[in-house]
Amino acid sequence: MDYEDFSESVPILGQKIGGDKVLKRSRQSSIKMKMFNTDHHVERINTTFTSPSMDREPLEKEKLEQIYETLEKVDDWNWDVLKFSQIADTWCFPILCLRLFLKYDIYRKFEEMNLDKWLNYLSALYLGYQFNNMYHNHNHIIDTVQATHYFYKTAGFENFLSEQDIMVGILAAFIHDYEHPGLTSQFLIRTKHPKAIRYSDISPLENHHVAAAFKLMDSDGERDLLDFLDQKSYKLVRKMLVYMVIRTDLSYHFDLLSSIQGKIYGENFPQDTLEDRLTVMTFTLHCADLSKPARSWIFYRGWIDAMMEEFNMQGKMEKELNIPISPFMDEENTNRERVQLAYIDFIVRDSIDILNILSPNPDYNNIIQRDLGENLNLNRKTLQKKIEGEVKF
């Protein structure tokens, strides 16, 4: 997502590690049944992931058990994203995706899905997130994926979506910032970057993210993760992914809000139509992408540092290029707490409030308000106290 625009406006397979637990729903595939066993799972993952291009050691059983342990709370809003990322390391994308797909029974729905191709693709995708980006890196992706899952599972949107919708939503969260340069779209446009020229200054970052992600699928037959879909289904899935990722550009924010507000206050929204489901999925991904101020302060504080450091790096580049420094990116003249307050007040709060209303079951409204709304209020108070000099951090 492009923050500059707002200035202008496991256990993977069972409840416990080991082969003695069963899933709530049976799996017919022999491969899926074998994956109940941790030893087999380690061997399978290592066979798939261990290659010279990944440059990593085989995964040990003890390590996998630690990863599974961190995933036990993946349904919770205050799940420790960075702890999982640190423990799972280069395995984080494929293992997280495996865990979530099993929660939604995606494998049972799509018997022809090639698991190895998904694992290969997600491993390659991980390498496309710049590790020198302070904010737009693999940790941001894990955070967005988990937030998307939270909205689907814990906040109840799962009940409105099909298994294919959920698969698309999770994949969109994984790819939505692929090959992000740590710079804004406006910077690319002002500097006449090749990506801005290629996409005629229209959401150059987001257009590149989704185009490059699809190119990665087609670059190697072993990464063609959507090959199990027939032509009609593939065309629909691609259309949905492109639509959702493009609209993570923050320049679409107020149009998204206006559109969904109009639908909410109309009659019988959402209905079980592609248009309404895609609207909900797009807005949900958008909220997941910008929801960090609604995390617990202990996590949000780190995201503030990461975001502002990335902003400052762009500001320094603009100064060196002798072009106007973008809003919020001049390290010497920017108050980071005021930036965050503006972000909360003008972008995040309204989004969370609408998400509350959009929840398909009244019971879930209280969950969103409890988990996100209270954090947002507490974080705002902490930022205000920092501005007033009452607290230090």
193 in a known ligand binding site: no
Cα torsion through 265, 267, 273, 279, rounded to 10: 0
Q: At what angle do helices 38-49 and 61-71 cross, to 10 degrees?
A: 100
CA dist 71 and 160 (Å) reads 25
CA dist 286 and 307 (Å) reads 17
89 in a known ligand binding site: no
286 in a known ligand binding site: no
At residue 104, the 3 state secondary structure works out as coil
| Amino acid identity for residue 125 in this structure | L
List C-alpha distances in Å: 310 to 73, 225, 319.
29, 32, 14
Which residues are CB-contacts of 59 (< 8 A; sequence separation ≥ 6)? Answer: 42, 45, 46, 49, 91
- Is residue 242 within 8 Å of 199, Cβ to Cβ? no
CA dist 320 and 370 (Å) reads 45
Other CB atoms closer than 10 Å to residue 159's CB: what's the count? Answer: 11
State the greatest distance between any 2 C-alpha atoms of the chain, in Å, as a whole number: 65
Locate 256 and state its tokens. Answer: 């998204």
Q: Give exposure, 242-266, as e/b (b: 16+ Cβ within 10 Å).
A: bbbbbbbbbbbbeebbeebeebeee
List C-alpha distances in Å: 271 to 161, 264, 291, 326, 373.
10, 11, 25, 41, 26
Residues identified as active-site: 136
Peptide bond into 270 cis (omega under 30): yes
Locate 80 and state its tokens. Answer: 């420790």
289 in a known ligand binding site: yes
Locate 128 and state its tokens. Answer: 């496309």
Locate 149 and state its tokens. Answer: 């899952």
140 in a known ligand binding site: yes
133 in a known ligand binding site: no
Q: Give exposure, 326-354, as e/b (b: 16+ Cβ within 10 Å).
A: bbbbbbeebebbebbbebbeebbbebbbb
Locate 318 and state its tokens. Answer: 């603009």
330 in a known ligand binding site: no
User: Per the annotation, where are the binding residues for Zn(2+)?
Assistant: 140, 176-177, 289
User: Per the annotation, where are the binding residues?
Assistant: 136-140, 176-177, 289, 340
